Amino acid sequence: MSTVATRIATSDEDHAVVWAIRERVFIIEQKVPVEIERDEHDATATHVLVLVDDEPAGTGRLVVEAAGFGDVDEAHGPVAHLGRIAVLGPWRGQRLGVAIVEALEGAARAHSLRMAYLSSQDHALDFYRKLGYEAMGAGYLEADIPHHAMIKIL
């Protein structure tokens, strides 16, 4: 049985692994332009790294934002923006995405955040629904990929 470990990326080595996973999943597989995939939030975000038997398998990030959904935010204060959630091909379907989201939500709670939102690719909507997220509003394209905004009260 494999050992799964999830941790906050803290070292330069950890961050290099995070970038490598994101490059493979988003830039190479999904053809997202690098200038969209990497942004100004990377430097201040909390990045999570998931390892299977000490091998890098997935990542995600948490960005604390002042607002994102108008009236909804006023009731909940700053929000957790979960994003860049990626699992490498060989480990998909093994609940690593769940581990990443749970770690990001834990980091959000550690920041005393009460609401999380994310931008889900449409193929992953059911995955996030099972984790308690609700779709909000109309869909949109991001990097030519259909998405929906989703929220969850933490």
- The pLDDT tens digits for 8-34 are 999 999 999 999 999 999 999 999 999
Tokens of 70: 């108008």
Has domain 4-153 been given CATH number 3.40.630.30? yes
- For residues 93-104, give the mean pLDDT: 96
- The pLDDT tens digits for 61-88 are 999 988 655 444 455 578 999 999 999 9
- The pLDDT tens digits for 30-56 are 999 999 999 999 999 999 999 999 999
> Domains of the chain: which residue ranges?
4-153
Cβ atoms of 61 and 104 within 8 Å: the answer is yes
- For residues 117-125, give the mean pLDDT: 95
Please give the mean pLDDT across all residues of the chain.
92
Tokens of 48: 């999570």
Q: Give, as one character, the DSSP assignment of residue 94.
A: S
Nearest alpha carbon to residue 124 among 82, 72, 77: 82
